[in-house]
């Protein structure tokens, strides 16, 4: 699957595609335990959703917790400014 | 765009990684599968592990990273040095792959003896990040070393033998650990250092305020092409602990970022690494001509998307929007002006 992905990449990147963003901090368990606000750190890359600037990209963003409507509304507003309505 | 929270997220402890929780959330996996059915899809991971690969297999879609063990190996301090050497990128004087306290003291004594002009040595634990495994030693704070420096300037075996007992005595007292909350004292730090390995490297011999810490984020496409994502100047709240950054980097104004990214990217691709990479540099004035363009050393490599790299996507998006907004504004102004004239 990966070999095929590598070969087809030049074509894939120009076509319609779905990016599944999973910002998992899959590091050693001991480090995860010793980190403060681990879930928030996993959600620190919410700005990945701005990959939507490429009109061929659809995004599934996996969030480690339910974000408030205010936070989601804020990001939706920014997307709207960039001409991405109903993302 | 779909923002999905794994259905079983509340059933697992908070320190479980997102990939682990998602693996154990069958309803969410089914939801994702339904959404991507018949479409070209791929996973863009964070710091990848075997769990991310399992997810890729469960969802039957490729993942935008190489083998996790390789991504991890070249993100370690010792692994990164090997990549920089192969890519012919300047690095500080260093000793890598240290796994034993005696070896540590011997290597540091050798480095000090051969480089008496270096005033600060930095120690880094291989698999730590964000300065968590950093510590440093200011050579000038150890009087017997200062005296040795004054007496003898030629590197020799004798000098190493003289330095070793001094280091063994003074290291526990004089080393400054970047995160004392993680390692309460030298013994704890050394135990962790020897367990996973680490490096010793020289700090630039200039004033602290003359140094800067630029980083470059780039993307190694699955076909081997390298693209720059962005650059930034990291700022530290305290020694080795990053607190934020300025976009884009301005400490190396004339540096050809593409050349350095391409040379590192090509080597990493050969080694089987793809996806997002960030290279950390340190810049400092050229000691032979302070007014010339600053010099730099490559000090760290991160073979995954960093928070700052993802912020670059945001700024990129905002800049394009601002440009469109400005164009609209200019058009309205011109239209009004033409209308008022007519």
pLDDT score at B335: 61
Q: Which DSSP state fits A48?
A: G
| Helix/strand/coil for B292 | coil
pLDDT score at B259: 93
CB atoms near residue B115 (< 10 Å)? 15
Task: Return the ∠ at Cα B249 (arms to B123 and B176), rounded to 5°.
Answer: 20
Q: Which residues in chain B are contacts of A68 at CB distance < 8 A?
A: none
How confident is residue B276, by pLDDT bands cut at 50, 70 and 90? Answer: very high
pLDDT of B56 > 90? The answer is: yes
How confident is residue B325, by pLDDT bands cut at 50, 70 and 90? Answer: low
Share of chain B above pLDDT 70, in %: 92
pLDDT in tens, B103-150: 999 999 999 999 989 999 999 999 888 888 999 999 999 999 888 877
Sign of dihedral through CA atoms B53, B59, B61, B63?
A: negative
From the list A43, A55, A84, A50, the residue with the least C-alpha distance to B313 is A50
More reliable by pLDDT, A10 or B152: A10
How confident is residue B292, by pLDDT bands cut at 50, 70 and 90? Answer: confident
Which of A56-70, B112-126, B238-252 has the weakest average pLDDT? B238-252
Quick check: B19 contacting A, CB < 8 Å? yes
Q: How far is B197 from chain A (nearest CA, A)?
A: 15
**Which domains does chain B show, CATH number per domain?**
15-64 (no CATH), 93-202 (no CATH), 208-314 (3.30.470.20)
Cα distance between residue B65 and residue B49, in whole Å:
10
| Helix/strand/coil for B38 | coil
Quick check: A32 contacting B, CB < 8 Å? yes
Overall average pLDDT of the B219-234 stretch? 93
Q: Which residue is associated with the tokens 């302070």? A: B290
If you measure CA to CA, which chain B residue comes closest to A82? B321
Q: Exposed, middle or buried: residue A2 (CB in 10 Å: 0-12, 13-18, 19+)?
A: middle
Judge: A20–B317 Cβ closer than 8 Å, yes or no: no
pLDDT score at B280: 94
Q: Which DSSP state fits B142?
A: -
Judge: A17–B15 Cβ closer than 8 Å, yes or no: no
pLDDT in tens, B70-92: 999 999 999 999 999 999 999 99
Query: B84-87: long-range contacts (C-beta < 8 A, 24 or more apart)?
Result: B84/B264, B84/B298, B84/B301, B86/B267, B87/B260, B87/B263, B87/B264, B87/B266, B87/B267
Q: Which residues in chain A are contacts of B42 at CB distance < 8 A?
A: 5, 12, 17-20
pLDDT score at B241: 82
How confident is residue B321, by pLDDT bands cut at 50, 70 and 90? Answer: low
Quick check: A11 contacting B, CB < 8 Å? no
pLDDT score at B221: 95
pLDDT score at B37: 93
Q: Which residue is associated with the tokens 């960039």? A: A82
CB atoms near residue A26 (< 10 Å)? 24
Tell me the HSE value of B174 on the side-chain side, using a 13 A CA sphere: 18
How confident is residue B16, by pLDDT bands cut at 50, 70 and 90? Answer: very high
How confident is residue A81, by pLDDT bands cut at 50, 70 and 90? Answer: confident
Strands B2-4 and A17-25, how do they pair? unpaired
Cα distance between residue B64 and residue B53, in whole Å:
10
Backbone dihedral angles phi then psi of residue A58, each to the nearest 5 degrees? -110, 150
Q: Exposed, middle or buried: residue A46 (CB in 10 Å: 0-12, 13-18, 19+)?
A: buried
Token pair recorded at residue B14? 């908070």
Which of A50-64, B96-110, B184-198, B306-320 has the weakest average pLDDT? B306-320
Contacts of B22 (CB under 8 A, 6+ apart): A22, A24, A62, B6, B28, B29, B55
pLDDT score at B148: 82
Cα distance between residue A84 and residue A79, in whole Å:
5
Which of A9-23, A72-86, B106-120, B210-224 has the weakest average pLDDT? A72-86
The A residues from 40 to 69 touching B (CB cutoff 8 Å) are 42, 44-53, 58-67
Computed over every residue of chain B, the mean pLDDT equals 89
pLDDT of B157 > 60? The answer is: no
From the list B265, B5, B65, B201, the residue with the least C-alpha distance to A39 is B5
Cα distance between residue B263 and residue B334, in whole Å:
47
pLDDT of B224 > 70? The answer is: yes
How confident is residue A86, by pLDDT bands cut at 50, 70 and 90? Answer: confident
Token pair recorded at residue B181? 């909350």
How confident is residue B322, by pLDDT bands cut at 50, 70 and 90? Answer: low
pTM for this prediction: 0.88
Contact between residue B205 and residue B191 where contact means Cβ atoms under 8 Å apart: no
Q: Which residues in chain A are contacts of B45 at CB distance < 8 A?
A: 22-24, 26
Which of B68-82, B198-212, B308-322 has the weakest average pLDDT? B308-322
pLDDT score at B216: 95
Identify any residues that bridge with B134 across adjacent strands, giving them in sequence order: B124
Angle between helices B50-59 and B26-36 (to 10 degrees): 60
pLDDT score at B156: 54
Overall average pLDDT of the A78-82 stretch? 88
pLDDT score at B88: 95
Overall average pLDDT of the B33-41 stretch? 94
ipTM of the complex: 0.94
Overall average pLDDT of the B207-222 stretch? 92
Judge: A62–B18 Cβ closer than 8 Å, yes or no: yes
């Amino acid at each position: 699957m990966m070999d095929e992905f590598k070969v087809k990449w030049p074509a894939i990147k120009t076509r319609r595609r779905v990016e599944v963003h999973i910002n998992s901090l899959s590091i050693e368990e001991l480090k995860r335990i010793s980190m403060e606000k681990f879930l928030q750190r996993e959600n620190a890359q919410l700005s990945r959703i701005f990959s939507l600037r490429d009109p061929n990209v659809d995004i599934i963003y996996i969030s480690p917790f339910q974000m408030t409507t205010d936070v989601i509304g804020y990001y939706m507003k920014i997307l709207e400014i960039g001409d991405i309505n109903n993302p | 765009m779909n923002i999905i929270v794994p259905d079983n997220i509340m059933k697992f402890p908070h320190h479980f990684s997102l990939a682990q929780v998602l693996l154990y959330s069958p309803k969410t996996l089914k939801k994702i599968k339904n959404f991507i059915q018949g479409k070209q899809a791929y996973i863009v991971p964070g710091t990848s592990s075997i769990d991310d690969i399992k997810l890729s297999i469960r969802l039957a879609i490729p993942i935008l990273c190489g083998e996790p063990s390789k991504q991890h190996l070249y993100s370690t301090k010792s692994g990164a040095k090997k990549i920089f050497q192969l890519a012919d990128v300047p690095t500080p004087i260093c000793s890598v792959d240290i796994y034993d306290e005696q070896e540590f003291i011997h290597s540091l004594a050798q480095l000090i003896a051969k480089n008496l002009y270096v005033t600060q040595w930095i120690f880094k634990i291989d698999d730590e990040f964000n300065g968590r495994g950093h510590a440093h030693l200011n050579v000038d704070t150890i009087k017997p070393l200062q005296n040795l420096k004054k007496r003898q300037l030629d590197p020799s075996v004798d000098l190493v033998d003289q330095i070793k007992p001094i280091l063994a005595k003074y290291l526990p007292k004089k080393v400054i650990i970047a995160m004392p909350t993680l390692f309460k004292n030298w013994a704890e730090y050394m135990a962790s250092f020897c367990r996973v390995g680490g490096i010793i490297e020289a700090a630039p011999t200039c004033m602290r305020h003359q140094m800067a810490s630029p980083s470059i984020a780039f993307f190694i496409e699955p076909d081997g092409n390298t693209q720059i994502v962005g650059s930034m100047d990291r700022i530290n709240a305290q020694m080795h602990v990053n607190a934020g950054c300025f976009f884009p980097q301005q400490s190396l104004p004339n540096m050809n970022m593409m050349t350095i990214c391409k040379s590192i990217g090509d080597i990493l691709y050969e080694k089987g690494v793809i996806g997002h990479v960030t290279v950390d540099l340190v810049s400092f004035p050229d000691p032979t001509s302070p007014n010339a363009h600053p010099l730099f050393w490559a000090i760290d490599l991160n073979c995954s998307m960093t928070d700052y790299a993802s912020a670059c996507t945001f700024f990129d998006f905002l800049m394009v929007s601002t440009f469109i907004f400005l164009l609209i504004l200019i058009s309205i102004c011109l239209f009004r002006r033409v209308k008022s004239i007519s």
